Amino acid sequence: MGEATTQDKSIDVLMTLIGEYWGEIHHIEDQRSALTNILLVIESAAVALVVQSGYSKASLPLPILLTLVGGIGILATRKYHERFRYAQERLTQWYRTVDKLCPEACLMESLRKANESHRGDVRLLLFKRFHLKEVPLHNFWIWIHVLFVLTGVALAAVILK
């Protein structure tokens, strides 16, 4: 009886850790979202000010700012993704441990089936041949900032022309 109680406590501790790491994953995504929104406002304002100034040489610092802020957005998005992956790897290890302690839960098998179902979902096909699951979400956010970097470079070129 004492052994089952110890096992139950172990599972309870692991489930608490799993819940906390899911909270951390949500927090990481909230931080990424908030930073991206702030940077998008700065980037959009910089573009608007350059256009409003009529592409004058006096507005040259704005495309430079746009390029720098876009670069910061790229780096921050990559860092947030790294932290997300770290938390996800820990979650997977804890899922495996729960599976060992409580094999009847079939936790890893359930996750595998859910992933297979998601992979086979034809609604997620792009152009009938490319599955959206193959495109990491953080790449969309990175490309937004890459576009602002390119816009900053292009605006600087137009101003210097």
- What is the predicted pLDDT for the residue at 142? 95
pLDDT band at 144 (very low <50, low <70, confident <90, very high): very high
Tokens 């152009």 found at:
127
One DSSP character per residue, 27-50 reads HHHHHHHHHHHHHHHHHHHHHHHH
pLDDT over 70 (residue 31): yes
Within 10 Å of residue 149's Cβ, how many Cβ atoms?
19
Q: Would you say 124 and 118 are in contact if contact means Cβ atoms under 8 Å apart?
A: yes
Average the pLDDT over 144-152 and give the result: 95
User: pTM to 2 decimals?
Assistant: 0.81
